[in-house]
Amino acid sequence: MVRPSVSLLPPSSEQLSGGSATLTCLLSGYSPQGAVVSWQVDGTEVTEGVLSSSEEEKSGRYSSSSTLSLSRESWMGGELYSCGVLHHDHSQTQSLHRSQSGPMVRPSVSLLPPSSEQLSGGSATLTCLLSGYSPQGAVVSWQVDGTEVTEGVLSSSEEEKSGRYSSSSTLSLSRENWMEGELYSCGVLHHDHSQTQSLHRSQCEG
């Protein structure tokens, strides 16, 4: 059983200026399928305006999404918006405060290579760290020598502190697989902005 990583995205400023508001709850990286999403506004469950996608499978892991569509007036009338996820016997909730879903701040991204201790033990884990961003909703992908990889990837849920978010994603490989690749890249999509951090294996040794 692998629990979903859950992100809750606020409405965009473009939507709000047009008079509407859509919140999006993103679930990724979980197994088996069977995640159920519910929505609450100020502690009260809402079902009107909710649309949930089918679960999509890729390399044995599932992803899905659910949206809550409101008028701008309804959005402004609420404060605490929550997306609840039930995955078999495990429940988790992501929430956002409307008053705190302010300006867009891009994540700082760091890519850490495997430690020498790991490599001497026959394994290799790369870690992509995201910090200091707002609002939540950063999605991480991995590439090895230009090809996307999904096996061995584990992404954390986003954690909030003082209105800024942080998260991480790891790529776990055997030492043999690590030695076969050269260019390792962590791609981060934060709403409409993408950035990449890369490292060369041959420059991590010694």
Over the chain (206 residues), the average pLDDT of each successive run of 10 is 92 82 95 97 96 93 96 92 96 89 83 94 97 88 96 91 90 96 95 90 81
What is the set of domains in the chain, with CATH numbers? 5-100 (2.60.40.10), 108-201 (2.60.40.10)
Closest CA to 149 of 128, 163, 135, 119: 128
pLDDT at 102 (0 to 100): 65
pLDDT at 200 (0 to 100): 96
pLDDT at 160 (0 to 100): 86
pLDDT at 103 (0 to 100): 62
